[in-house]
Structure 1
Amino acid sequence: MLYEIQLPQLVDGHLPVAVIALLLGVLACSWLLRKSEPAASEGTLLIPKSVYSRLPLVGHLVGYARNGHSYFSSLCASTPLPIFTIRMAKVKLSVVKPALTRDLPQTKHLSLAPLVLELFKRSLDLGEFSSYLLREDDEQSKRFAPEISRLFRDEFIPNRNLRKYVEELDAYIQRDVALIHDAKSIHIEDWIFKTLVGALGKSMWGGDDGPFGDAEFVAQLRTFLLNIQRLNNPATFMIEPKLLESRRVVRERLDQFSFEKYAEKAGSSESVDESFLARVRTLCLDHGAAAEGWTDYQLLLIAGLGPNVMAASTWMIHHLLADPNLLAAAREQLDNFVRKSEGSIDLADMSEKCPLLIATWNEVLRFHGGFTLGRYVHEDTTLAGTYLLKKGSYALAPLKPHHFDKQLWGDDVEDFRPHGFLKEGGGLDEIQKRKLRVYGLFGALCPGRFLAVHMTMAVTVRLLLAFDIAPLKDGTNHAPPEECKETIAGLATPAWDAEIGLRRREIIEDVEIRFRSSR
């Protein structure tokens, strides 16, 4: 079995045994939990109407198991209401359609951490200390979320920090590109994961001497992260042993790293570690977490930083390969940029000098940004001053209905067309870019959004400068893979990997990539 492939393993159109077992397991409790249709209003507020599946009790679970986040989008398309409620086992979900999403930032008592706990507790094997912090049952843990958000913004948004990361990450990326100069081919997703996630991990986890400097650790991490949904199965005995082993290896290596970095140096006279990772650890401990639970937070950090940028970068290469004209035009802009830069290109100038690559990035986010954003409802609250969201439920906002709205994007929304983000003269259209919703809907935008685009541009530029890339078989048109339906959060990953051919290019050998934006 290829554990890195996430596409649900359907046999003759039927659900996998693990999913059947899960559905049967919740059948009894679903029967007890299901209630009659709620009243149309509570006081002056409207209660979102419940939408039931044709398959009683477990229909929404089956739909989600088969179709992933697309299931929520399908419900939006078939339901005329601006907001409606569904129940999946014991969880009550209020699904918010685009017409109401502009009111989400003003909605009180919504929190991300408990949703993160719901999504990742089983798959990451989170312990009691991290669960306490994410559950936000007391004032101390509730203060953690805004402070960790502030820490992330302070780290990943200022240009001075972005410059540092661009230089560090590109050094690792450039080295990995050099290692494949004699290769005839690479597997796209595998190479990008090892290169990008590996570079980010080395930058934060001790360089080549840390866990990300170990190729076996990175390989096990890839298997682990690409199978999060399977590891979420409550019936542990039904999870493939190789997946459990990958999780064990990753956790043990992070445990070892933490011990070597922190425990052995406790009480020593060495200077205080002021790295980003150390500051995250200190913040966790200050808010009631325990040192022995630090591996949980490292896993959450890795799961939040790595898979999205890896998926977006992989889709970039797939779509460039699928459209030879796009690839040729984007490469021409890049080559001209390099030739006129005297050996040093500034990523801050990519929007002006290489608008097609930036437009392709934006189109990747639109075209594959069909996931669902959500929050936990801590207290009864109101949406748009009209709808009542009950305590203990979740508010979900599927992005696909927005990103595939023909009134916003045109009649060809089902096609991948980067030129939609360009003006008539070829420059970037900032108005179109502002229509994207992948960076957030609930008020706070993703603090890593700037680092993500610079990482993707760095790895794409390095690959295109070093090689001509093409489908492995000459004359074969490349078709991007289907999206994996088992992605829990964020951009969907490709459902399978693809091998591409490489041919060494004669171009400027030693190009410096930097970031010197004055903004």
Structure 2
Amino acid sequence: MPSTLALAAAGVVAAYAFLRALAVFLRDPREPKAVIGTIPFISPLIGMLIEKGGYYIRLRDSLKLPIYTLCVPGPPIYVVNSLSLIQRIDRHILTVAFAPIQVRACEKAMGVGESGMAKIKKDTLPRAFAPAAAPGPGLDALNRAAVGNFAASFDKIASERPKSVNLFHWIRHEIFSATMDASYGPHNPFRDPKNEKAWFEFEEGIMALLMDVFPGVFARKSLKALDQMVKEFTHYFKGDGHLEGSLLVKLREKHNAAFGLDTIDTAHCEIGQVAGGVVNTAPTVFWLVWQVLADPVVFADCRAEVAKLVRTDADGKHTIDLAEVRTECPILLSTWQEVLRYHGISIAARIVQEDTMVDDQFLLKKGGVVMMPNAVIHSDQSLWGPTVGQFNHKRFLKSSAKDASTRRPAAAFRGFGSGHVLCPGRHFASTEALAFLALVLARFDVRPVTGEWKEPKKDMVMDRACPLPKTDVFVELRPRDDKEWRVVFSDTRAGINIVAEDLGEA
């Protein structure tokens, strides 16, 4: 009679054989090559959860495939390693779409009601308010308001000399405050500290809400914070606070009203707009500031550029026009791009709406998920040359394009996505980042409290463009002088063009 151990072993073998056969059977031979793993359906999940972004880089290097299929429970996941294949997939706007992800975010993370969702599903990618974030008077107004917020805050900090801060928490607050004030105007609900606190509590649970696995347990604080913010935004819109807000907010409210969304659903949708404005910007600006302050060479180059923007009156008063960063600080601009490349971890995702053949070679089956990890493209030596693993703050200077070690296709830079889902807020986010850094360099000497710059460990969270710092970095902000500063942002009617689509090189 077989022993219990033998029966158990036989059961394991049978289960393994069944799962492996199932993984093979469920595949269409025209689909990209399958990655089944040691334990079918389970090994890929473990790799994604444990290794995070590094998992896709490891598979790219070991498989050397332009695209492959991760066999996991549920729909297949198609991971794309090839830049040229990504560009071809981007052309399938309707069949390989971002819209279903937006729909899920509205329903699961933002909590839009059943009636509102029925309307949203008919129009998931509205372009009615895109002009407000594109180069022009609307963008200039946003930039000017954000810069004004930075200037006032820096004046206050300078009066408290010297001041010690947690670098990430400080940057996160400054970016959040400036973005919300620029967007929502004098009736900005987030001027109340309790609402800002609610936002960061909500932000921590966005991924749990999207996954929709017992959100009442795993995202309880986020759901409570969401309810609070929806009440505040409902009051904001019912009280016509948006009429004194930015053009962006006015056009969004006008679009939602014309589309039939009530005030409560509009308030829910607005939570998603807040996320779009701050979730990725704050951690990315942290790495920009850290990279510049921690590297003496980068610091010297960037501070020298910013110094050229400062005009000093006869009485010693300083004036700086931060609109000039766009044209007068190419090294600062290149450093920003390199931070997005070197530290970036975002993953562009799409849902396959219909069976789609890509490049006449690869079948993407309806219901499948397409994932295009930026880190895979940004760390590809065949695209970026032998220095791909090094941080080079001058990599994106025009002069570097002639150097074989730094030459790359324009489309290889995916800091703001690509194609029809290119980030509409890229010009505003870039301006905020560069303006903030320029003011830090112009106005303060910054020293780590510990006496040395030590790179913090990274939390490679799935829903961010850059990692979150896992360890605190405390710094001392010491004003460089006691003079009065006048910080302005003149009209430019122009954006910060760093992606291929804006440069006409896509």
TM-score (ref. length: structure 2):
0.82
- CA deviations 1:83-142 (Å, max 9, x no partner) are 2212433132111222411212222412212123446754555543455456x4xxxx1x
- Aligned pair 1:517/2:492, yes or no? yes
Partner-residue secondary structure (3-state), 1:500: strand
CA contact (8 A) 1:458 1:513 kept: no
Aligned AA (1:60):
P
CA contact (8 A) 2:233 2:267 kept: no
Report 1:81-160 matches (<5 A): 81-98=65-82, 99-107=84-92, 108-118=94-104, 122-129=108-115, 131-132=117-118, 136=121, 141=122, 143-145=123-125, 148=126, 150-160=127-137
- Aligned pair 1:194/2:182, yes or no? no
CA contact (8 A) 2:350 2:370 kept: yes
1:58 offset after TM fit, Å? 2.1
- CA deviations 1:335-379 (Å, max 9, x no partner) are 122138995544443244222211110111101223210111112
- Aligned pair 1:77/2:61, yes or no? yes
Aligned twin of 1:60 = 44
For 2:226 and 2:69, the matched residues in 1 are separated by: 38
CA contact (8 A) 1:355 1:427 kept: no
1:78 offset after TM fit, Å? 2.5
Partner-residue secondary structure (3-state), 1:397: strand
For 2:358 and 2:467, the matched residues in 1 are separated by: 28
For 1:411 and 1:274, the matched residues in 2 are separated by: 45
Aligned twin of 1:5 = none
For 1:438 and 1:410, the matched residues in 2 are separated by: 18
CA contact (8 A) 2:119 2:261 kept: yes
Asked which structure has the greater RCO (Cα within 8 Å, sep 6+), the reply is: 1
Range moving further from structure 2, 431-440 or 62-71 = 431-440
Aligned twin of 1:203 = 182
Partner-residue secondary structure (3-state), 1:151: coil
- Aligned pair 1:371/2:346, yes or no? yes
For 1:304 and 1:204, the matched residues in 2 are separated by: 12
Aligned twin of 1:219 = 197
For 1:366 and 1:58, the matched residues in 2 are separated by: 31
- CA deviations 1:225-274 (Å, max 9, x no partner) are 144335556134653xxx63354134323323313532x679xxx98999
**Could you say if the C-alpha distance between residues 409 and 426 of structure 1 is closer, same or farther in structure 2, counting changes exceeding 3 Å?**
closer
Report 1:31-430 matches (<5 A): 35-37=23-25, 41=29, 46-98=30-82, 99-107=84-92, 108-118=94-104, 122-129=108-115, 131-132=117-118, 136=121, 141=122, 143-145=123-125, 148=126, 150-181=127-158, 182=160, 183-207=162-186, 209-230=187-208, 232=211, 234-236=213-215, 238-239=217-218, 244-262=220-238, 275-287=247-259, 289-339=261-311, 343-424=318-399
Aligned AA (2:182):
S
Aligned twin of 2:498 = none
- Aligned pair 1:464/2:441, yes or no? yes
For 1:496 and 1:34, the matched residues in 2 are separated by: 43
For 1:361 and 1:96, the matched residues in 2 are separated by: 25
For 1:508 and 1:409, the matched residues in 2 are separated by: 44
For 1:430 and 1:515, the matched residues in 2 are separated by: 34
Aligned twin of 2:12 = none
1:453 offset after TM fit, Å? 0.8
Report 1:437-452 matches (<5 A): 437-452=414-429
**Could you say if the C-alpha distance between residues 210 and 485 of structure 1 is closer, same or farther in structure 2, counting changes exceeding 3 Å?**
same
- CA deviations 1:421-479 (Å, max 9, x no partner) are 235599999977653112223434221111111111121122222210121123x2x13
Aligned AA (2:149):
Y
CA contact (8 A) 1:53 1:59 kept: yes
Partner-residue secondary structure (3-state), 2:391: coil
For 1:272 and 1:456, the matched residues in 2 are separated by: 25
CA contact (8 A) 1:188 1:497 kept: yes
Range moving further from structure 2, 213-222 or 289-298 = 289-298
1:318 offset after TM fit, Å? 1.0
Aligned AA (1:225):
E
For 1:195 and 1:465, the matched residues in 2 are separated by: 17
**Could you say if the C-alpha distance between residues 432 and 83 of structure 1 is closer, same or farther in structure 2, counting changes exceeding 3 Å?**
closer
For 1:360 and 1:156, the matched residues in 2 are separated by: 23
- CA deviations 1:162-209 (Å, max 9, x no partner) are 2111111111111222222214211122111111111111222343x4
**Could you say if the C-alpha distance between residues 425 and 508 of structure 1 is closer, same or farther in structure 2, counting changes exceeding 3 Å?**
farther
- CA deviations 1:291-326 (Å, max 9, x no partner) are 432333112111111111112211111111220221
Alignment root-mean-square deviation, CA: 3.4
1:484 offset after TM fit, Å? 1.7
Range moving further from structure 2, 187-196 or 437-446 = 437-446
Partner-residue secondary structure (3-state), 1:173: helix
For 2:215 and 2:28, the matched residues in 1 are separated by: 41
Aligned twin of 1:15 = none
TM-score (ref. length: structure 1):
0.80
CA contact (8 A) 2:341 2:413 kept: yes
Structure 1 stretches lacking a partner, 5+ long: 1-26
